Amino acid sequence: MRKLMIPAVVVVLALLLMSMFVIPEGERGIVIRFGKVLKNEQDLSKIYEPGLHFKMPMFDRVKTLDARIQTMDGRSDRFVTSEKKDVIIDSYVKWRIQDFGRYYLATGGGNTLTAEALLERKVTDVLRAEIGSREIKQIVSGPRNDDILPDSTDADVVTTEAAKEALEVDGQRDQIMANVLKDTQQSAAKDLGVYVVDFRMKKINLPDEISESIYRRMRAERESVARKHRSQGREKAEVIRAQAELEVATILAEADKTARVTRGGADAKAAKIYANAYNESPEFFSFLRSLQAYEKSFDSKSDILVLDPKSDFFKYMNDAKGTVKSK
């Protein structure tokens, strides 16, 4: 009897251990019985939360699935716009399992690589339709912000034509990502049992052969704008220079006018003073004028005067009182 109890205990312990299973934190478990996923009373896949659980040994098989948000960093792919131009877009998708039973069946046993391949195909198809209905300038830019437009009444703000054109572009990049996210969420939940949390376009590039032509066009546009600014600058410089020359000529004319008026007034006062001096003392006035004449005539040693020494010009030199008369 004792010999039979020991094997029985071993079998019971083995069956007990085989019926126990543990779901780690961050994961969820489903039980597969005869190739089918066990369901609950609501006819939904029975999900086992993290912790210790029991199953039927020998018949049930446990499959643990990652319940955390996962990132699918897709490869860069080429898309065609409505202008028949190619763009290369690099994107990523955040997703997590929503229906574990459907996910298990759709991916052939919960294979993550298979799930991401199917999800990437859905995202690419939706994104291709969105890109094909828009132009490049709508794809690469975000929504227009009217608050950044300058006030037209401010004379100090100068906006180039290229900048105005860029501001007028109604960018739809955010709208594209929102549309892809919405459409992918619906199809992925229905077909794969996953919930798409987020979709983003990381990088939008142009093929090398297109990039070079666009760079040349941008360079030509910038050079055109630069030439326009230079011509406007030269025009303003000419206007400023002409105004400055006009102001200088006006100031000089006013100064010359003032100088002439002042000089005329001074000459009139001097003539009046000479007249008064002559009336008061004609002899002294004559003497003073003679001294002034001497000063102007003999201001250089090289001056030569051919005059009669007895003329009136030398009367104050011949006689200090000027009484000598010339013959």
- Inside any domain, residue 139: yes
Q: Is 272 part of a structural domain of the chain?
A: yes
Tell me: the pLDDT tens digits for 92-112? 999 999 888 888 888 888 888
- In a shared domain, residues 181 and 195: yes
Mean pLDDT to the nearest integer, 111-124: 92
Last residue of a domain, one of 66, 88, 104: 66
DSSP 305: -
Query: Phi, psi at residue 174, to the nearest 5°?
Result: -65, -35
Could you say which of 66, 86, 110 is where a domain stops? 66
Provide the β-strand partners of residue 205: 88
Q: 77: which DSSP letter?
A: E
What are the tens digits of pLDDT across the range 145-159? 544 444 444 434 333
CA distance 36 to 153: 74
Q: Are residues 175 and 111 in the same domain?
A: yes
Question: Which of 97-111, 198-212, 233-247 shows the highest mean pLDDT?
Answer: 233-247
pLDDT for the residue 322: 52
CA–CA distance, 212 with 223 (Å, rounded to integer): 16
**Residues 326 and 201 grouped into a single domain:** no
Alpha carbon 212 to its chain centroid, in Å, reads 22
Q: Answer yes or no: is 264 within a domain.
A: yes
Q: Are residues 15 and 95 in the same domain?
A: no
List, in sequence order, the alpha helices (H) in the chain: 2-19, 100-106, 112-132, 136-140, 161-168, 173-191, 208-280, 282-297, 315-318
Residue 215 has which token pair?
A: 């760079």
- The model's pLDDT over 37-96, given as tens digits with 9 standing for 90+, comes to 777 777 677 888 888 887 878 777 888 888 899 999 878 888 988 988 888 999 999 999
Flag whether 152 is in a domain: no
Q: Cβ(291)–Cβ(306) under 8 Å?
A: no
What is the rounded end-to-end Cα distance, in angstroms, of the chain?
189
Q: Please give the single-letter amino acid code of residue 106.
A: A
121 neighbors 77 (Cβ within 8 angstroms): no
Domain-located, residue 257 = yes
Residues 305 and 263 in one domain: no
155: in domain: no
Same domain flag for 122 and 56? no
User: Which of 75, 218, 82, 92 has its CA nearest to residue 139?
Assistant: 82
Same domain? For 168 and 43 the reply is: no
Mean pLDDT confidence for 279-291: 74
Lowest mean pLDDT among 9-13, 31-35, 111-115: 9-13
Instruction: Give me the pLDDT at residue 316, please.
Output: 67
118 and 55 share one domain: no
Same domain, 186 and 291: no
Q: Does residue 156 form part of some domain?
A: no
Give me the domain span that covers residue 91: 70-147+164-206
Are 86 and 50 contained in the same domain? Answer: no
Looking at residue 84, which CATH number applies to its domain? 3.30.479.30
Per the domain annotation, does 214 fall within a domain?
A: no
Question: The whole model's pTM is what?
Answer: 0.55
How many structural domains are present in the chain?
4
Q: Are residues 62 and 95 in the same domain?
A: no
pLDDT of residue 205 exceeding 70, the answer is yes
Residue that finishes a domain, picked among 259, 280, 301? 280
Say whether both 184 and 92 belong to one domain.
Answer: yes
Tokens of 214: 């666009």
